[in-house]
Chain A
């Protein structure tokens, strides 16, 4: 390997990170090692400092670049993920190309994983040595600048997506809001009251829905799904599949006559959670936005009973031309957007999976969502809480918490909202029926503002709280004297005894799950899901909105279970992130990109199907592969795969990596050279 590294002047900065690093690593010794042992490798300055990321720490670097003429900088501190930007910035301000700085991770890779100070210090030295060898071979890079499309795609019209759409539209920029259901509103539109204030869900949601529906900057695409996403931050091309409504959206007035006249009643599995009915042509609920019905060809007599049957909706439709179009086809529309916000929400845990709780087997076992619909004045029972017979009010109701959540047999996570939701439902049931209500909980989790106060209130209202995991819900009495009709078998862990509570109705507070197709959706948008299926944010604490794909953000429950306030906050936060991109007008992309050396590319096409960002294309005429630098995110998959070594990644050359590895092997016994 040719060594052109002799003339460089390297500065090494060892951070204490308070005691985070200095508590385990002898930072002075590491700095001394750099100053003395690496003098021959061009190190002219080596310092240790309490907090390199502080303003003073950064100024140390800037000052040394100016006064000592540093041409390379190594900061031994935390991880590049956290502070690479900080130290590159410092270099940039002092006139050094930011990409001539390297970080040596001696916190995450050393201090946090070792306890033996001597070993940790030796390892820190090796890592610093590797970083010095690497930085000597770094080349100055220039950020790639691309313009940003002002439009934004918001996927999902629940409360999180609505918030995002409204914030961006209010700022004056166009939003395309894509919703897979016939109406926006999401799960919140199904609820009756919201905890802890008990304000009516519809009353606070529908103004936002209406605002989104009529906003001049928001274009709704309901009954639609995103099919394909191409491009990169600032320049996405999105293909949206518009499912046929069989109703002309721009002609229909939403008068509802077609719904009234439709003779087909269908169980409403979606909005009414399976306990109500809708027609074959329907709007999911009265305040639906847009207020345009959708015709369900799976149940409509026109399609089911052979062509031409019924046609009542068409006959009675008062518009000119007629709004009903039986042969409407699906359409595809192409949108150009700069940013994408995924607010695709959650699915309810299927309570049938826990067989011993009896849902689907015992008639009077309900899910929380069914109870929500019953409590809702616009719901199938007109706000009455009744048993499955549709008339009898229950006298004793058991509400089971953590159904499918915090359970290693189902989902390990806490669904975060079920405690409060169960407390709220207990209150509503008691209010509506005067029933005796038992809540069965493992732990009560009421950490947000006014939540515990609400729990206390419901306790004072006389709702019973029994701490224990329900073993079984049964309808079989243990003897002739036992009065059910249902029995909740539970170990009361506070009283220290097994209890068997007779009730009329059991409500299962089912947990939140990722959307069943979240992995496929993630793939469409080029972002990853955790093994559980929630979308992965860029940083769990410090960047919970962004993803590893630039220009794609997540908000609401798609990222993990959360309540309405948190979803709204995330929706707004996503809007802020998008607006900051839009306002910049153009973006500086990381210049770490792959490129193809055409002379070496044989056109074998091994790499062609590998790019997660669709940056690779094959040029048939020249029989070579090409990489679009703006699409490329620098992940390196193709670089590793190229058997010809024709693809290289800037900032990650073989020379850099091998030099770094050799540097890391500072103290490792060399494999003996055979004579």
Chain B
């Protein structure tokens, strides 16, 4: 009997998810042992037309990382959906937009303006990338940017979600073990829509730091604070930590080494909007008698959108800047 097909694809993302998969070390050999790797552009040379030629549903599982930013991303999302039995949104970008999703704060024109003509860019001729460009050899094309970044499940139906930026290697290995067990007939598939490779609580659940009743009277960036106690909740020490609103599963890696959780595992179970949750939670415990007290605490947060919605903007209730949402593709 031939091995079931496996695919992995990299849309609008940094590539970290690909590295994370390779970080599972020799476990990757088990992947090869149980699957026929049919499509994985980062690892092997297969053309889109080869995928297009495959029969529908002929890939058992596709790990799709990256958000949907360009027409090409969308094309591949739809193509892989058609060809795969199980489509897995893999990593933060595919699930909630992640850092690329923060571009949803601006319409495309502003993004191009910022990227190609702001003072930080050396571009005296104000050249901008074009969807099509004539050169001596013929026409070169680039996939056009869509008005906003979307998550995979805003474009196609998704079977499973693996959160994280990137997903932790031990969690990837665990997900792989489940898939292999299913292939071997030793396990049932998890219910559709399940979140795999993560916990069911929040980062605080795994964080060993001691915590008390919260009352926040200041927030500051780590370099502005005195040396922090190593065993006390970072939030209580004035550091904006997203741990309380972020799904568990990473073994609280960042707080363990004194860095605040930045929220990469996304919203906790049953939470619709991680940023809104975190914001309401923090707002609830700000120690303020007067409006000025609130301002003072908020002044410690130079980038609220980027702090609360660092990972989740594209999948939040607001999703994007209204002007950007209203744009024609």
Contact = CB atoms under 8 A, between A and B. Distances in A.
A642 B270 contact: no
A599 B201 contact: yes
A674 B150 contact: yes
Interface in A567-608: 599-608
Contacts of B325: 671-672, 674
Contacts of B213: 605, 608-609, 618
Interface in B190-208: 200-205
A674 B268 contact: no
B174 interface: no
Interface stretch (B33-41, B122-130, B272-280): B272-280
A604 B211 contact: yes
B15 interface: no
A637 interface: yes
A641 B281 contact: yes
B244 A602 contact: yes
Contact of A603 (B204, B268, B285): B204
A640 interface: yes
A230 B175 CA distance: 49
A600 B268 contact: yes
Interface string A181-204: 000000000000000000000000
Contacts of B166: none
A672 to B, nearest CB: 6
B211 A646 contact: no
Nearest to A645: B271
Nearest to B248: A602
B284 A610 contact: yes
B268 A644 contact: yes
A537 B217 CA distance: 33
A494 to B, nearest CB: 45
B211 to A, nearest CB: 5
Contact of A602 (B202, B214, B272, B329): B202
B148 interface: yes
Contacts, number: 99
A193 B213 CA distance: 54
Contacts of A618: 213
A643 interface: yes
B245 interface: yes
Contacts of A654: 270, 272
B326 interface: yes
Contacts of A642: 277, 281
Contacts of B296: none
A604 B268 CA distance: 13
A646 B247 CA distance: 12
Interface in A335-377: none
A542 interface: no
Nearest to B326: A672
B100 interface: no
B244 A604 contact: yes
Contacts of B329: 674-675
A607 B244 CA distance: 11
Interface string A635-661: 001001111111000000010001000
Interface in A424-460: none
Contacts of B248: 602
Interface string A33-75: 0000000000000000000000000000000000000000000
A243 B328 CA distance: 75
A606 B270 contact: no
Given A600-B200, A600-B269, A674-B329, A606 B244 contact: yes
Interface residues of A, number: 28
Contacts of A672: 325-326
A674 B269 contact: no
Contacts of A606: 214, 244, 281, 284-285
B91 interface: no
Contacts of A645: 267-271, 277
A665 to B, nearest CB: 13
Contacts of A601: 201, 205
B164 interface: no
B3 interface: no
B186 interface: no
A643 B326 contact: no
A602 B284 contact: no
Contacts of A609: 213-215, 285
Contacts of B271: 644-645
A671 B284 CA distance: 30
B322 A671 contact: yes
A610 B286 CA distance: 11
A662 to B, nearest CB: 12
B146 interface: yes
Contacts of B148: 674
A643 B285 contact: no
Contacts of B211: 603-605
A653 to B, nearest CB: 10
A220 to B, nearest CB: 37
Contacts of B312: none
B285 A599 contact: no
A674 B201 CA distance: 33
Interface in B255-293: 267-272, 277-278, 280-281, 284-285
Contacts of A623: 205
Given A600-B268, A671-B325, A643 B146 contact: no
Nearest to A672: B326
B97 to A, nearest CB: 13
Contacts of A641: 280-281, 284-285
Interface string B231-255: 0010000000001110010000000
Given A600-B270, A609-B285, 16 more contacts: A599-B200, A603-B205, A604-B211, A605-B233, A608-B214, A609-B214, A637-B284, A641-B284, A643-B278, A643-B281, A645-B270, A645-B277, A646-B268, A654-B272, A674-B148, A675-B329
5 contacts: A599-B200, A606-B284, A609-B214, A641-B284, A645-B268
List 7 A-B pairs, minimum CB-CB distance, nearest first. Answer: A643-B245, A602-B205, A641-B284, A602-B204, A643-B281, A645-B271, A604-B204
Interface of A: 599-610, 618, 623, 637, 640-646, 654, 658, 671-672, 674-675
